[in-house]
Amino acid sequence: LQASEVSPEGDISEHTFAMVTIRVVDLNNHPPTFYGENGPQNRFELTMYEHPPEGEILRGLKITVNDSDQGANAKFNLRLVGPGGIFRVVPQTVLNEAQVTIIVENSAAIDYESFKVLTFKLLAIEVNTPEKFSSTADVVIRLLDTNDNVPKFSSDYYIARIPENSPGGSNVVAVTATDPDSGLWGEIKYSIYGTGADLFLIHPSTGIIYTQPWAVLDAEVNSKYNFYVKAEDTDGKYSLAEVFITVLDVNDHSPEFNENIQEKTMIIGSPVKIEAIDQDAEEPNNIVDYSIMQADPANVFDIDQSTGEIKLKSYIRSLDIIHNITNNKDCIWSLVVQAKDRGSPSFSTTAVLKIDITEETLHKGPMAAFLMQTKDNPMKALGVLAGVMGIMVLITIMISTAMFWRNKRSNKVMPVRRIIKKRQMPPSRTVRMEWLKFKRPSNAAEKFVVEEDVKSLHNENSNNNVQVIPVPPAAPLPPPPPALAPRGDAPGWRVPTVSGSLTPKHVIKPPKKKGHSSTHNALVSELKMRFEKRNAAFGEPHI
């Protein structure tokens, strides 16, 4: 800064200088501003696929924010205004300038089927200024669809009913499924499978289930069908639902009587029963009512409408009363009975029944009653008899098998026998009778020993008790007489025993009991006779 002195004439005589400093203080006169690639911008758009991973940065958005003021006037906050919890903005506080980043927080909320376009406002507002300048920018996110949904049926199961004998191709039920995905991903194709699906078809586009052209539905054969229906999109994603179909019974069968209805035997006081079967599957089509259509005279029999039991009137208690009613002496009556179902329309069947009326047999008992009841059906009696005989044979076999195994495991029956020990026969030699008579002992019986096998005398039976049976001793037979006898000094000569086969042995004989002597003598005599026969066979002389 210069100051000069000016004379009256206008001349500058003296001057001086001074330094002046001016400081410019910033005023808060600029709001925050958003910039794009081409300068300031207040609208940003992005196209992306639905359900991006959480934490992913929206890289298609290039946003910059700036405040031209200085210092505290350039400090501001960033905030994203819109559906909450889906995105967040970084940074949240800015000084002068920053690059704006938007990050995914909730991937499930970014759903094409819920929002095809997401719109937010990006807000920048000053923090420490009294003016609180601010600015906004629109952020528009357009979503692209992905095949993220499976087809879904309107119900988890479907219940349908169709009358039997419906013509082929009849509609049964329509199933519906939806897929919210767009384009080809939303197109659905229907199919059925399962063991009960053989008689049915489904339209692949409409979901209408109908019967096969050749199918015949019969409630008496099968009244319940169960199978699965499948809804599948073009990408292979599918869902299932269950279908239950009931075939409604139609009264298309008339009652049929049993084969043995033609003739019955009735004992006075006991009813006889007729039975008819209706092949229809459901009530009331298969409920049968019985009635007597014709009888002569008509006041003899009553019939139970539900059970088919026929009995005599209560006042008929003997054959004499029946004979007073009719001249039919053989007491065989013919009735026309009817079986009628309760369906609509109703069907009926009639049959002629012959009833042979008789009094109770004199031989009372279950067998007599059974024979009377099976008089009209002999095959039934034969079947019962064969069954009883078979059971008896089976029981006998079981008892015999049990006894056999019991005896085999624990019981042994041993016979009582005597054992005579023998020696080998020496070579035959010729001796003189005179020498044998000289050498022969006075008591030949002492040369023989009869031993009883103690074990053989024990009788073991099934009770495991042992009984000792005493056996009298038996005397041996006398030896055969030799033809010649050598000299007494002949070397190497040995006189054999009486038989040459029995071992001489002295044993302590058990005391004889009374009555054993006669048995002993008989045995000795028998042995002697056997020896004599043997000697005669060999041509040897008797002693």
Q: Write the pLDDT tens digit of every residue in 323-354.
A: 766 666 667 888 899 999 998 889 999 999 88
| Average pLDDT, rounded, for the chain | 78
Residues 260 and 366 placed together within one structural domain of the fold = yes
Contact, 371 vs 365, CB < 8 A?
no
Please tell me whether residue 194 adopts helix, strand or coil conformation: coil
Q: What integer is the mean pLDDT of 491-513?
A: 45
CB 481 within 8 A of CB 541: yes
Spatial distance between the Cα atoms of 323 and 275, rounded to a whole number of angstroms? 29
| Higher per-residue pLDDT: 510 or 394 | 394
CATH code assigned at 182: 2.60.40.60
Residues 268 and 366 in one domain: yes
Closest to 126 in 3D by CA, of 26, 27, 31? 31
Whole-angstrom CA distances from 13 to 6, 9, 10 are 6, 10, 9
Span of 25-34, 313-322, 474-483, 506-515 with lowest mean pLDDT: 506-515
Instruction: Identify which of 414, 435, 540, 535 has the alpha carbon closest to the alpha carbon of residue 485.
Output: 435
190 falls within a domain: yes
16: in domain: no
Cβ–Cβ under 8 Å, residues 279 and 286: yes
Q: State mean pLDDT over 30-56.
A: 93
Tell how far CA 485 is from the center of its chain: 97
Which residue range is the domain that position 401 belongs to?
A: 377-410
Residue 56, pLDDT > 80, answer yes
- Residue 427 lies inside a defined structural domain of this protein: no
**pLDDT-above-90 percentage for the chain:** 43
Cα 43-47-48 angle, rounded to 5 deg? 135
In a domain, 426, yes or no: no
Range among 91-105, 369-383, 476-490 with highest mean pLDDT value: 91-105
- The neighbour count for residue 322, using CB atoms within 10 Å, is 19
Domain's final residue, options 144, 178, 200: 144
Confidence tier at 29 by pLDDT (50, 70, 90): confident
Domain contains 420: no
Q: How confident is the model at residue 203 (pLDDT cuts 50, 70, 90)?
A: very high
List the Cα angle 436/437/443 in 5-degree steps: 105
> Could you give the CA distance from residue 200 to residue 222 in angstroms, rounded to a whole number?
14
Lowest mean pLDDT among 187-196, 202-211, 310-319: 310-319
Average of per-residue pLDDT across 352-370: 67
Number of domains in the chain: 5
Q: How far is CA 77 from the centre of its chain?
A: 71
* φ, ψ of residue 381 in degrees (nearest 5): -65, -45
Residue 169 has pLDDT above 60, yes or no: yes
